[in-house]
C-alpha cells in the first residue's frame, strides 16, 4: 500500500479538496482507496458525506488499544472508504508524543490497512507538529498544496527547516501549485518557472474554480460533480503524475 499525505504549514490552501479529488481519481483508476481525515475540522469527511466522530475514544484508537479499522466508513463509491475526522483529534500531537514508538507510531497505525487498500491518503491539519514529523516515516510522498505567493514559499521553507530532512526524505516532499489564477502575472510566471526555494515541484497545477467550492455544497468530488470542468481534468492529470511518482 502506498501512503500519500496532504500537508501544509498554512491553512486555506486547498488541502482537503486536493485530498478528496486525488483519492477519487485513484479510485476511478481502479485502486481501493482509504482517505484518513486527520484534521479535526473534518472538511474531507464533510465533502464525502461521512459522519464526523468516532464511536470509541480517540486516545484508545490512536494508541492501538482499540481497532482503528472498525471506524472505517464506506462512501457512495465502491472501494473508496473513509476514516472520519473527530474533534478529539485536536489531542493527536499529545498522543503521538506520548507513544514509546516515537516517530514510527503513525506508520504502525497505518500498516494494518495495507491488507485491504492499495492507497491511503492522509488529509493532515496545518501547522508544525509532531504529526508532521511522523509523516516523514509514514508517507511515500508528502504533497504540499502551494498558492503562488511569496508567503507560501516562506511557509514552505519554514516547514522544511522544522523537519530537518535528510536528502532522501526531502525528495519525498513535493509542492504543487493550487488555486492558480491565470489572470495574475505572478501566478503565470511561477507556473512556468517555480522559485528555487520550492525545489522540485509537480508539473501539474490546479486552477482556481468555483466548482471546487461547490464540492462542500453537493458533497461530491469533482469527478462526479463536474466531470468536464477544467479543475476536474487538472486533478486527473495531477493524479497520473503522482501515480508515476509512486511507481504504480
Q: What's the whole-model pTM score?
A: 0.94
| pLDDT of 31 | 98
Q: How far apart are CA 48 and CA 99, in angstroms?
A: 31
The helix/strand/coil state of 161 is helix
| pLDDT of 102 | 62
| pLDDT of 105 | 85
Where are any strands of DSSP class E within the chain? 2-6, 33-37, 73-74, 80-83, 119-123, 141-146, 173-177
Q: Which residues contact 222 (CB under 8 A, 6 or more apart)?
A: 21, 24, 211, 212, 215, 229, 231, 232, 235
| pLDDT of 144 | 97
Domains of the chain and any CATH numbers = 2-246 (3.40.50.300)
DSSP H stretches of helix in 58-129: 58-63, 92-98, 105-110
| pLDDT of 3 | 98
DSSP conformation class of 168: H
Q: Three-class SS string for 194-220? A: CCHHHCCCCCCCCECCHHHHHHHHHCC
| pLDDT of 74 | 96
Is residue 38 within 8 Å of 131, Cβ to Cβ? yes
| pLDDT of 163 | 86
| pLDDT of 101 | 60
Q: How far apart are CA 25 and CA 237, in angstroms?
A: 9
Q: Which residues contact 131 (CB under 8 A, 6 or more apart)?
A: 38, 92, 93, 96, 106, 124, 125
Q: Which residue has the cell 465533502?
A: 47
Phi, psi dihedrals of residue 167, rounded to the nearest 5°: -55, -50
Q: Which residues contact 74 (CB under 8 A, 6 or more apart)?
A: 81, 82
Beta bridge partner(s), residue 119: 2, 33
Is residue 48 within 8 Å of 21, Cβ to Cβ? no
Which residues does the chain have with pLDDT short of 50?
none
Amino acid at each position: 500500500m502506498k501512503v500519500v499525505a496532504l500537508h501544509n504549514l498554512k491553512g486555506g490552501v486547498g488541502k482537503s479538496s486536493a485530498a478528496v479529488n486525488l483519492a477519487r481519481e485513484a479510485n476511478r483508476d481502479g485502486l481501493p482507496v482509504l482517505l484518513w481525515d486527520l484534521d479535526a475540522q473534518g472538511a474531507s469527511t464533510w465533502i464525502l458525506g461521512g459522519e464526523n466522530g468516532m464511536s470509541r475514544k480517540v486516545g484508545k484508537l490512536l494508541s492501538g488499544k482499540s481497532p482503528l479499522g472498525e471506524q472505517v466508513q464506506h462512501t457512495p463509491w465502491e472501494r473508496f472508504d473513509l476514516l472520519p475526522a473527530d474533534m478529539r483529534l485536536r489531542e493527536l500531537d499529545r498522543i503521538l508524543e506520548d507513544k514509546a514508538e516515537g516517530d514510527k507510531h503513525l506508520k504502525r497505525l497505518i500498516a494494518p490497512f495495507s491488507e485491504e487498500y492499495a492507497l491511503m491518503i492522509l488529509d493532515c491539519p496545518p501547522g508544525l507538529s509532531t504529526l508532521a514529523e511522523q509523516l516523514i516515516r509514514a508517507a511515500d510522498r508528502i504533497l504540499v498544496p502551494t498558492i503562488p505567493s511569496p508567503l507560501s514559499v516562506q511557509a514552505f521553507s519554514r516547514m522544511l527547516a522544522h523537519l530537518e530532512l535528510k536528502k532522501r526524505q526531502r525528495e519525498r516532499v513535493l509542492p504543487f501549485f493550487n488555486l492558480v489564477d491565470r489572470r495574475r502575472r505572478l501566478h503565470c510566471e511561477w507556473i512556468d518557472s517555480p522559485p528555487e526555494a520550492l525545489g522540485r515541484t509537480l508539473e501539474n497545477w490546479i486552477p482556481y474554480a468555483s466548482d471546487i467550492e461547490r464540492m462542500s455544497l453537493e458533497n461530491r468530488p469533482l469527478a462526479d460533480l463536474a466531470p468536464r470542468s477544467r479543475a476536474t481534468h487538472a486533478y486527473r492529470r495531477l493524479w497520473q503524475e503522482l501515480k508515476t511518482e509512486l511507481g504504480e
